Chains A and B, each alone.
Chain A
């Protein structure tokens, strides 16, 4: 059983500004980021799909005490993508000190930024970003 889209393939997509996911042929759920099986029904009958990169911000925090190697403050948020999945990433186009409950429900567009590896997770990784549509 081979992955239709591996993490490496997904990362290459992000590098090119593409949000690669999968559609489940059994229950029609969209799977993002890609996985071996559909989280909803367990099927491995999956077809690659490209997501729109649009969503709605559902929650956030401003990290002020950061792990070794990260510079606070920065915003971590979760968005519900228009195709259904939720994603976690960094909200980038706003001042962390201005983040408040008013963010919840705002429309966001997806992007990505490169996070350098550290001593423990040595791979450089493309991580999702969110940007407010009206900013």
Chain B
């Protein structure tokens, strides 16, 4: 495999948008191409992410239209990826694999989503389509419900009183909204406090409103290039050091939801390829779709032992300038927002900017190695990408 680099990355503001899925994607994509000192005609393929365009806009087969919107050559194939919330990370990984294999030299990957268009009842229904239809979504399980069940399991398994666990989970929300307050692209840019989290509407016991990420609109895109060419294009390519992806089935086969087996398998692949371990990470953008999800992820990575990450945020260990490792400096899905088809490419964009020292007030000092972590569905897909600003 050849070494592969990200040469350009960009995202739209996340939030509520009046723009179409294609317009948002073209804005992010054209900016990512421009930042790479390239033109649309230079793209050899499009790896396009979108989950629910059919429900949002009555649009299937969006990849071909996104290709046209960007002005890509007819010879460049456009392929749609759908891996629920991990969609854009999975798309980018496959882009990088084909560039690494020498099939292409320069491609564009990313995704777009216009989730707010659906309204909460339909959005909740369509998101639940990412649970197994015959045995699980038929019982009315929702995404907050999945992570709520994981929370109850976690409290019971580790003997932590639910009230204490919820206060520490609230600390995750407070931290990520604090980070989001420094991100002009974030859906929510206001700080919150623990009382606001614990006073919120109950969504799925024990998860309250501020334990949950929002439905968001937005797009993000990255240009992926063979590292040999990348250095000719820009002065500061960000290199892919390692990648992983793994799959697991329905909840009833996963059993203990506190252990995200797909993530444990995915991160092991990524660490092995990168030749690093959890202590080497300087900055992490992880999948905090719900507050408990950040805790579970940090344990899967080995940054904390199992049962030990629950108070990391309240102890200040994962905030900007924190003692351990900075987690979700962008504000995470919690505050930056979660347009599901775009999320992974936005996480990559944040890590690329952090490793280039371009993150302004939320810059992680001397960040050299960053981890992208995106979870799809009810813990059934995880994709990880480790990035570095140092060439091999």
Binding site for B on A (CB under 8 A): 7, 33, 39, 58-70, 74, 76-78, 80, 85-90, 99, 101, 104-105, 115, 118, 120-121, 125, 127-128
Max chain B Cβ within 10 angstroms of own Cβ: one of A65, A101, A127: A65
Given A39-B253, A67-B128 in contact, is the A59-B140 Cβ separation under 8 Å?
no
The residue of chain B having its C-beta at the shortest distance from the C-beta of A125 within the complex is B138
Contact (Cβ within 8 A) B135 A61: no
Residue B53, interface by CB 8 Å: no
Compute how far the CA of A94 lies from the CA of B97 in the bound complex, rounded to whole angstroms: 51
Name the B residues within 8 Å of A68 (CB-CB). Answer: 121-122, 124-125
Max chain A Cβ within 10 angstroms of own Cβ: one of B141, B202, B203, B255: B141
> Chain B's interface: helix, strand, loop or mixed, by majority?
helix
What is the total number of residues of chain B having a CB less than 8 Å from a CB of chain A? 42
Name the B residues within 8 Å of A120 (CB-CB). Answer: 125-126, 129
Max chain A Cβ within 10 angstroms of own Cβ: one of B125, B206, B250: B125
Contact (Cβ within 8 A) A63 B141: yes
Compute how far the CA of A99 lies from the CA of B204 in the bound complex, rounded to whole angstroms: 12
Compute how far the CA of A77 lies from the CA of B43 in the bound complex, rounded to whole angstroms: 48
Contact (Cβ within 8 A) A59 B153: yes
Compute how far the CA of A63 lies from the CA of B252 in the bound complex, rounded to whole angstroms: 18
Binding site for A on B (CB under 8 A): 120-122, 124-126, 128-129, 133-142, 144-145, 148-150, 152-153, 155-156, 162, 201-207, 249-253, 255, 257
Chain A proximity of B175: nearest CB distance (Å): 24
Name the B residues within 8 Å of A33 (CB-CB). Answer: 135, 252
Chain B proximity of A58: nearest CB distance (Å): 7
Compute how far the CA of A76 lies from the CA of B250 in the bound complex, rounded to whole angstroms: 15
The residue of chain B having its C-beta at the shortest distance from the C-beta of A74 within the complex is B140
Chain B proximity of A116: nearest CB distance (Å): 10
Q: Select which of A65, A67, A86 is within 8 A of B252 by beta carbon.
A: A86
Q: Select which of B120, B155, B156, B249 is within 8 A of A65 by beta carbon.
A: B120
Compute how far the CA of A85 lies from the CA of B206 in the bound complex, rounded to whole angstroms: 25
Compute how far the CA of A64 lies from the CA of B150 in the bound complex, rounded to whole angstroms: 17
Contact (Cβ within 8 A) A76 B139: yes
Q: Select which of B140, B150, B255, B257 is within 8 A of A90 by beta carbon.
A: B140
What are 24 of the A-B contact pairs (CB < 8 Å)?
A33-B135, A59-B153, A61-B149, A61-B152, A63-B142, A64-B201, A65-B144, A67-B121, A67-B124, A67-B142, A76-B139, A76-B145, A78-B149, A78-B252, A78-B255, A86-B252, A87-B252, A88-B139, A88-B141, A90-B140, A101-B156, A118-B125, A120-B125, A121-B138
8 more CB-based (< 8 A) A-B contacts, given A58-B153, A88-B252: A39-B249, A63-B140, A63-B142, A65-B204, A66-B121, A88-B135, A121-B137, A127-B135
Contact (Cβ within 8 A) A59 B152: yes
Compute how far the CA of A57 lies from the CA of B156 in the bound complex, rounded to whole angstroms: 12
Given A104-B152, A125-B134 in contact, is the A89-B125 Cβ separation under 8 Å?
no
Compute how far the CA of A102 lies from the CA of B168 in the bound complex, rounded to whole angstroms: 21
Name the B residues within 8 Å of A67 (CB-CB). Answer: 121, 124-125, 128, 137, 140, 142
